[in-house]
Amino acid sequence: MTRLLLFFILIIFVSTSSGHKSVPKWLSLFNGKDLSGWKVKIRNHALEDNFANTFSASNGLMKVNYNGYDNFNEQFGHIYYKEKFSHYLLSIEYRFVGEQANGGPAWAIRNSGVMVHSQAPETVTLNQDFPISIEVQFLGGNGKDERHTANLCTPGTHVVHNGKLLTDHCINSTSKTFHGDQWVNADVLVLGNTRIQHIVNGDTVLTYEKPQIGGGVVTDFDPKVKIDGTPLSDGYISLQSESHPIEFRKVELFDLAPYANNPWQLSSILRELSKRGK
């Protein structure tokens, strides 16, 4: 569904259930000017060492670029928002630009993403490649092949999909392919440890349940952090640097935690999203 329609539905829900008027507000995680409120962690570099100015902000955009890299050399990076969340709707607009960094892996061409329910950046080790998290993978078209976006990848995690524990590292969504440098709107509905839903340009493209720690495809982690079987009910949000330049012009969040104990409100939101996604 469109953000505008969801916004008005939420206004109705909050007003009618609380007995007084209360207008929901979106929180802009990116202020359009600088990286205030964010922490950078790049593999092989200390926390808050923004190596080669990988992450920057200008002209209303958060930019990920590799102009200062001689070779990418598996220096995967993430920029984390300062707070963690449990129940929310995250809305992001992104586009891929330019050419992949020298030495970037072939699978990372026009590849990036947003991590949700992530471990804290302070617990990511110096040489760890990806945080233990749920990744909403962004893929850009290469001009000829079908490449879905808002896919699911699971660094150090598992989820339940179609009633079964999913142990594959990545599964594709049902989204369209977006070639070139066009802007794409990706929404992520996160409901604690119950459900996560991926939405692209208003269409629901993937839904799964019960995110939890487990599995591999993450290296050099602290074993005290990766306790397999632990449900993921909340966590941090981070944006990736995976060797292909990408820009973000919107990173906004509507916090649903105040309504988490009201099943009627949450189920109504999900029902409306589902109707729009068909």
Where do the domains of the chain lie?
Answer: 26-262
User: Percent of the chain, pLDDT > 70?
Assistant: 87
Fold of 26-262: Jelly Rolls (2.60.120)
Cα 33 from Cα 237, distance rounded (Å): 19
User: Percent of the chain, pLDDT > 90?
Assistant: 80
Residue 99 has pLDDT above 60, yes or no: yes
Q: Which helix (H) or strand (E) holds 269?
A: helix 263-277
pLDDT tier at 56 (50, 70, 90 boundaries)? Answer: very high
| pLDDT per residue as tens digits for the range 222-261 | 999 999 999 999 999 999 999 999 999 999 998 999 888 8
| pLDDT per residue as tens digits for the range 182-225 | 999 999 999 999 999 999 999 999 999 999 999 989 999 999 99
Is there a contact between 106 and 242 (Cβ–Cβ < 8 Å)? no
* 226-237 core/surface letters (b: 16 or more CB in 10 A; e: else): beeeeebebbbb
**What's this model's pTM, rounded to 2 decimal places?**
0.89
